Structures are given as C-alpha cells and as structure tokens.
C-alpha cells in the first residue's frame, strides 16, 4: 500500500518537478475517497533552505532521516551532478530497506550515484541522457520514452513526464479509480503510455525562396495523394538525382522520411481534433490503409493511434469539465 512518500530535494532543485510530486502526493483527497498520504519533504538538513533554479528556496521539514521507512522515495530534479556522501548513502539505504525509488528527470543522477541504475532500464530528460550514460555506463537508458517502470525503480523524463510517472505509480499501487480522481483535479490525462516518445522532431527546413520551399509547402497541403521522388523532382524542375541531393542538403533528411513524418504529424492533428475512423485518417494523410498508418505512427510516436487519441480525448474532456 502506498501511504508514505518522501521527497528528496537538493540544491538547484527544479520547482516544477518538485511541484508535480507535491501535487500528486501532497494534497488531502480523503473527501474524494482516496486514502491519506503522508508527504515528507526532505533535504540534507531539516530547516535549511534549499536554493532552486529560479531564485526561490524550498525549506525541507525533514532531514535525510525522513527517507527511512517511506513507501516511496521521490527524488526531484536538480542541476547538481555530484552529491554528498551522506545523501548518496541515505538514498542507497532507503532502496535497500524496500522503498520504491522514483527519479523525476535529473533526479536519476542521484539514483545513479547510489548505484541504483546499474544494469537497470531507466530514462531521464532527453537533454540529460548523454551525460547520464557517460556517468553511469552500466545503466540501460532509453532516451525516448516518458517513463520506465522497473518494479522498485521508476524513472521519468522531465517536466510533464514527471506527472505521468507519479500518476503511474498511483495507478499501479491504488488502481484506476484513484488516479482518475487525482488527474481530474489536475486537469491532465489519467494515463499517458510510458513508451510514448518524449518528443517528435518536426523538421521545419529553412529552404531558400528559390529552392524547395514552394514544393514542400505544396506537398504538405496535398499529403493525401501519392508523391514519388520523380514527381517532386519534376515539380522542382530538377533531375531525380539533383532533387534528392538538394533535398537532403536543405532538410537534413530524405524525401521519403520527411514525407512520412509530415503524414504522421497530420494524423496526430486529425486524431486530436476529429472523430474520424482510423481508416479515414489514414486516407486523409496519404497512408492508404489503417494498417500502414498504425505501423508508421507507432514507429514515430511510440504508441498506437488509438492510444494517442484516447489520451488527448481524455485531456479535452477533462479540460471541458
């Protein structure tokens, strides 16, 4: 049962990630049928202010002793990369005593320093994964996903992904009804799949006015029709080889990859904004079939189109309520 949560804050704490942990676990929702949570805000020393990244301070009520016996120890994001021995020891001891460990964003560095990422799947904010991999080469880091649940170790990407990870822990421990109550109050989706990509790069090529820009603009307006390299080359008044070479030079990717991504991005908008069936969405995006849409959508976004729609339909309903 999830009853006691200890939040570890360290100097250069990020207020947003810290706030998401407090929002999920620190508000009394017993009147709405949820069990009470005991939230302990812990720092290296009780009562000693912890500077944040934005010019304010957090004053922890507990010192490191507050981690002991907590069902969940949540390590908030911090810009620190080196940590005092007593902090590392306290985190290691909490894990050894049976606490579930949650690293939000760069909180993963604290868990790594305690040896808790060794040979374990994990993630962090995409901007931090190279540094995390260099410091902890034994960690099995997935740089793309929102969060990773490895039983007694949960790690998340940054900012909003911290909300997803916290809600996932609630769902895992207390069930869907509990997480729906919290998500409704927060006006967020009750579930985003952990395997969803942290972000989908949308190349917005800086094409010269006399280059490919007019052709690419036309393609984006006509994604539902077939586009071969030869057709696009003729429209650009180039040979196939010159067009392909120029395309890579100006966009950084191949025509096929760029076109597939534009179609996936169109599908995202249609899934969010309409109630069209999957086959109709596929037709309007130029994929031709629902099966082809599902294949490319999952490859780019990381989740199935139906799961993506379910998330954002839930978000809309919550915001409207």
Q: What is the Cα gyration radius of the chain?
A: 23
Identify which of 280, 254, 253, 252 has the alpha carbon closest to the alpha carbon of residue 266: 280
pLDDT level of residue 193 (50, 70, 90 thresholds): low
Rounded (10°) angle between helices 255-273 and 240-251: 60
What's residue 192's pLDDT?
A: 63
Q: Residue 194: is its pLDDT beyond 70?
A: no
Q: Which tops the pLDDT comparison, 182 or 202? A: 182
Mean pLDDT (the chain) is 89
First to last CA, the chain: 30
User: In terms of domains, do 76 and 222 share one?
Assistant: no
| Residues 141 and 287 grouped into a single domain | no
Look at residue 107 and tell me if it is in a domain.
yes
3-17, 145-159, 162-176, 305-319: which range is least confident on average? Answer: 305-319
201, pLDDT greater than 60: no
Residue 320 has pLDDT above 80, yes or no: no
- Based on the fold, state whether residues 180 and 220 are members of the same structural domain: no
Helix axes 176-186, 15-25, angle to 10 degrees: 130
- Token code pair at residue 67: 């981690």
> In this structure, is residue 278 part of a structural domain?
yes
Residue 20 has what pLDDT? Answer: 95
Domain range spanning residue 162? 4-186
Find how far residue 136's CA is from the centre of its chain: 21
Tell me: do 37 and 181 sit in the same domain. yes
Which DSSP state fits 151? S
The answer to which of 209-213, 238-242, 246-250, 254-258 has the lowest mean pLDDT is: 209-213
As given in the structure block, the two tokens for residue 71 are 């069902």
User: What is the share, in percent, of the chain residues with pLDDT greater than 70?
Assistant: 89
Say yes or no to pLDDT of 159 above 90: no
Of the residues 171, 186, 201, the one at which a domain ends: 186
Q: End of a domain among 186, 203, 222?
A: 186
Q: H helices of the chain, where?
A: 15-25, 85-96, 107-113, 129-135, 160-174, 176-186, 213-221, 229-235, 240-251, 255-273, 278-285, 290-301, 305-320
Asked, for residue 102, whether it belongs to a domain, the answer is yes
In a domain, 203, yes or no: no
pLDDT band at 183, cuts 50/70/90? confident
> Is the same domain home to 308 and 180?
no
What CATH number does residue 240 fall under? Answer: 1.10.10.60
Task: Label residue 64 exposed, middle or buried (CB < 10 Å: 0-12, 13-18, 19+).
Answer: buried
Same domain, 250 and 302: yes
208 occurs within a structural domain: no
Residues 180 and 218 in one domain: no
Instruction: From 216, 226, 224, 217, select the one nearest 270 (Cα to Cα).
Output: 224
Helix (H) or strand (E) holding 40: strand 38-42
Query: Full-prediction pTM beyond 0.85?
Result: no
- Residue 173: CATH number of its domain: 3.40.50.880
Domain boundary among 139, 171, 186: 186
Q: Do 274 and 171 share a structural domain?
A: no
Asked if residue 321 has pLDDT above 80, the reply is no
| Burial (0-12, 13-18, 19+ Cβ within 10 Å), 298 | middle
Is 204 a domain residue? no
Would you say residue 201 lies in a domain? no
Residue 206: is its pLDDT beyond 80? no
- pLDDT above 50: residue 231: yes
pLDDT at 318: 39
DSSP letters, 70-136, are: -SEEEE--BS--S--HHHHHHHHHHHHTT-EEEEETTHHHHHHHTTTTBT-EE---TTTHHHHHHH-
Structure token pair of residue 106: 């760069």
Shared-domain flag, residues 158 and 263: no
181 and 217 assigned to the same domain: no
Same domain, residue pair 168 and 235: no
Q: Are residues 224 and 163 in the same domain?
A: no
**Calpha distance 228→218 (Å, rounded):** 14
pLDDT digits (tens, 9 = 90+) for 51-69: 999 999 999 999 999 999 9
Q: Which whole number is the average pLDDT over 208-219?
A: 76
pLDDT of 202 above 60? no
SS3 193: coil
Residue 117 in domain: yes
User: Higher model confidence: residue 130 or residue 319?
Assistant: 130
Backbone angles phi, psi at 86, to 5 degrees: -70, -30
- CA–CA separation, 280 vs 269, rounded Å? 13
Burial class (CB in 10 A: 0-12, 13-18, 19+), 304: middle
Degrees to nearest 5, angle at CA 59 with 58 and 62: 125
Least confident of 37-51, 88-102, 140-154: 140-154
Mean pLDDT of 72-92: 98
**pLDDT > 90 fraction of the chain, expressed in percent and rounded:** 67
* Number of domain units in the chain: 2
């Amino acid at each position: 049962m999830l009853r006691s949560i200890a939040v570890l804050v360290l100097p250069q704490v990020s207020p947003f990630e810290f706030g998401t942990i407090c929002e999920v676990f620190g508000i009394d929702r017993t009147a709405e049928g949820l069990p009470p949570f005991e939230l302990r805000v812990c720092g290296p020393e009780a009562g000693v202010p912890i500077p944040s990244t934005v010019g304010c301070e957090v004053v922890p009520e507990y010192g490191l002793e507050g981690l002991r016996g907590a069902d969940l120890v949540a390590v908030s994001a911090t810009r620190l990369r080196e940590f005092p021995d007593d902090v590392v020891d306290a985190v290691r001891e909490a894990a050894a005593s049976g606490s579930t460990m949650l690293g939000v964003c760069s909180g993963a560095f604290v868990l790594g320093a305690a040896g808790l990422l060794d040979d374990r799947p994990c993630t962090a904010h995409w901007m931090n994964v190279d540094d995390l991999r260099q410091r902890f080469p034994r960690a099995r880091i997935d740089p793309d996903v929102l969060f990773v649940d490895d039983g007694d170790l949960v790690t998340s990407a940054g900012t909003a992904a911290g909300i997803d990870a916290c809600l996932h822990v609630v769902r895992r421990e207390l069930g869907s009804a509990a997480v729906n109550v919290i998500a409704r109050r927060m006006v967020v989706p009750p579930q985003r799949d952990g395997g969803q990509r942290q972000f989908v790069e949308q190349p917005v090529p800086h094409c010269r006015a006399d280059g490919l820009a007019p052709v690419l603009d036309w393609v984006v307006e006509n994604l539902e029709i077939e586009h071969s390299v030869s057709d696009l080359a003729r429209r650009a008044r180039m040979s196939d080889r010159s067009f392909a070479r120029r395309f890579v030079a100006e966009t950084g990717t191949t025509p096929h990859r760029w076109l597939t991504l534009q179609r996936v991005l169109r599908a995202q908008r249609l899934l969010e904004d309409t109630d069209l069936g999957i086959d109709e969405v596929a037709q309007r995006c130029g994929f031709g079939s629902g099966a082809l849409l599902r294949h490319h959508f999952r490859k780019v976004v990381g989740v199935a189109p139906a799961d993506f729609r379910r998330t954002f339909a839930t978000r809309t309903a919550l915001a409207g309520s």
